[in-house]
Every structure is written in C-alpha cells, then in structure tokens.
Chains A and B, each alone.
Chain A
Amino acid sequence: MAIAGREADTNLPFVSLDRLSPPSADAESVTRPLHVRALDNLQFIRDTMERASAFTAISGRGMIAMGMVAIAAAGVASVQRSRVEWLAIWLAAAVVGAALGGAAIVYKARASRTPLLSGPARKFALGFAPPIVVGALLTWALYRAGLDGVLPAVWLLLYGTAVVCGGTFSVPVVPVMGMCFMALGAVSLVAPPAWGWLELGLGFGLLHIGFGIAIARRYGG
C-alpha cells in the first residue's frame, strides 16, 4: 500500500501534501487537484459518520418509558368490558408512547450532536412507517367488522415488522426486538381473545422495557 510504504520511509508524524498521495492512492487520484481530494475526504468522513450514526438512533430510555405506559394501559384495559373503551385506552397509550419515544430520540440526538434528518434516520423512518400505517388502517377495518379479538395479534405482528424493517438501519439488537414482537404476535393469533391485554402488556410493556434497558446500557442512553 502506498501510504504504508511512505510511512516506512520516514518517521515524520506529519507530511506535506506536496509529497502526499490521497488516502485512496491510485493512479487517477494522484492526478486530481488538491481541492478535489480534500472534497473527497470530507465526503468520506460525512458518509462514514452517517453510516455509524445509525448506532445511536434509538433511545433505550424512551423505550423503557413506552413500556411503562403499555403496562399501565394493560392494567386498565384488563378490567374494561366495553369494546370502545378498550380500544380508546390502547390508542391513547399508543399516542403517549409514541410522543415519549419520539421526544427521547430527539433528546438523545441533540445530546450526541447527531443530525435527526441524517441518512440512517431517514431510512429507519421509511422502513418503520409503512407497517404502522397498515396497522392503523387494519385497526379501523377490523374494529368496524367486529373482529377486535385479532387486534392484539395484528398490532404485535405489524409493530414487530416495522421494528425489523427500520431496525435494519440501526443497532443489531433492534431487529431482534422486532422479531420477538412478531413471535409474540404469532402466539397471540392462536391465544384466547380475552388474553389480549396480557399479550399487549407483555409485548409493548416488557419487551420494550427489557430491550430498552439493553440499548440504554450498551448504546449510551
């Protein structure tokens, strides 16, 4: 490698660009003007940071907060007899949880000086959003058809799908969490409808808290 060879020749810690080929030393790059090589280096740094910033996109503390909201909702929903109140509790929990999770992501991004609209964040959002939109539409359709019993399974399966899709651009533990949601959703499909609050509490509550603790410990918050 050209750079390694040059380092063997001299022991100087710095080198003049007059003697220097660019980091990707090849015939084409050596003939390029200095400012083009400088631009290329800046672009390389930006790309690397953008790829690496995916590791900090998700807030573990936000997930813990979302999990606590879900456990509280499961407790309240378990004693509800009315269909509409049961649904209203979970929709309210979803809105509060999403707000807490979103605020935690913004806080974490600001604390680590990571741009929120970076490439990985956009890719995460693009992967995450479609299954959530489908989930919202199916919630409306299934509720109208009187099929509330399958809603927990549909929510767990589609949220898991969203997390797996978005998590492809995040830390490895995120897609694993999504798969756990999908597995629980699959179990929920064959479980008695009366257990819906329990399945949602286990999924949106305990899975969020468990993985949130892991992410907060491992990925700085």
Chain B
Amino acid sequence: MAKTTGVARHRDAADARPATGRVGGRVAARASSALDRIIHERLRLGIVSALAVNTALTFNELKQLVRATDGNLSVHARRLEEAGYIACSKTFAGRVPRTEYRLTAAGRRALERYLEHMEALIQATRER
C-alpha cells in the first residue's frame, strides 16, 4: 500500500487551497479537489473536533463524546495517529491502563484547512 507522508499531504492541500470569488462551480471544484480524506470521515472528524477544544482526552472520554464503540474508536484513532494528526500516550493510573489523545500541530492545521474548504464550498454556491 503506497503511503503519502504527512508533510507531502499538507503541501498538496496548501497548493490546492481554493481561490474564492470565482465562478461558483469552478471554485467549488477547486475547493473540493484536495479534501482531506483522513479527516473527512465523520468519526475521525468528531475525534479531531473534540481534541481541538481540549488539551487532552482519555479513550473513555472520547468514546462518550463521539458515541463510538471501543473497536471503532480504536481503529479510527489509529488512522489519525498514523497520519500524524493526533498523538497517543499510554500510562498506568495505579494498575489501570490509561490511553490519552492529544491533537498535534499537523492535526490542528488539517482541521483548519478542512474548515476553509467547507466555507469555500458554501461561499462558491452563494456566488453562483
């Protein structure tokens, strides 16, 4: 499976940043051309959004917030971790394992780019 590095991904997204103020359809197409698939999936978008307003969240707190099962959250969190969007730390509180997630700088930038894409799409439609 061919993997793209996080750095390349960010560069691609920045290059494809939409220019607002053009004819609706074309701008919408450009705005959507580099939509980040990693963050676009709803559960992953929920994880990143929740972590954006918190310093850190434990696995159980995230599970409650995004209303996911253990397995589902685990899979999607790992995907975000592989992309470099979130960082995971595992510690022990006494004998109980504790998994904590934080949003990385790359993850915050990815969320900001995603928000810009969504806003560009809406703007383009209004100008049509």
Contacts and interface: CB of A to CB of B under 8 A. Distances in A.
Interface of A: 3, 7, 11-18, 20, 23-24, 33-35, 38-39, 41-42, 44-45, 48-49, 51-53, 55-56, 112, 114, 219-220
B19 interface: no
Interface size class of B (residues with CB under 8 A): 35 or more
Given A45-B45, A49-B52, A56-B53, A7 B40 contact: no
Contact of A34 (B3, B37, B46, B121): B121
Given A16-B32, A49-B53, A44 B46 contact: yes
Nearest to A118: B53
B41 A23 contact: yes
Contacts of B33: 14, 16
Specify the main secondary structure of chain A where it touches its partner: helix
A114 to B, nearest CB: 6
B12 interface: yes
Contacts of A219: 55
Given A42-B115, A52-B53, A35 B45 contact: no
A12 B13 CA distance: 13
Given A41-B118, A45-B45, A48-B66, A14 B35 contact: yes
A38 B45 CA distance: 13
Contacts of A220: 54-56
B49 to A, nearest CB: 4
B9 to A, nearest CB: 5
Given A14-B35, A33-B125, A23 B53 contact: no
Contact of A44 (B42, B55, B61): B42
Interface in B106-128: 111, 115, 117-119, 121-122, 124-126
Contacts, number: 112
Nearest to B79: A7
14 contacts: A14-B13, A15-B35, A16-B29, A16-B32, A17-B28, A20-B32, A35-B125, A44-B46, A45-B49, A55-B57, A55-B61, A56-B54, A56-B55, A220-B56
A51 B50 contact: yes
A42 B35 contact: no
Contacts of B4: 12-13
B32 A17 contact: yes
B35 A20 contact: yes
A7 B115 CA distance: 22
Contact of B49 (A13, A34, A49): A49
Greatest chain A CB density within 10 A among B56, B61, B66, B122 is at B122
Contacts of A15: 35, 37, 40
A11 B2 contact: yes
B83 to A, nearest CB: 8
A52 B28 contact: no
B49 A48 contact: yes
A44 B45 contact: yes
Nearest to B49: A48
A14 B34 contact: yes
Nearest to B41: A3
Interface in B1-26: 1-4, 9, 12-13, 16
Contacts of B12: 13-14
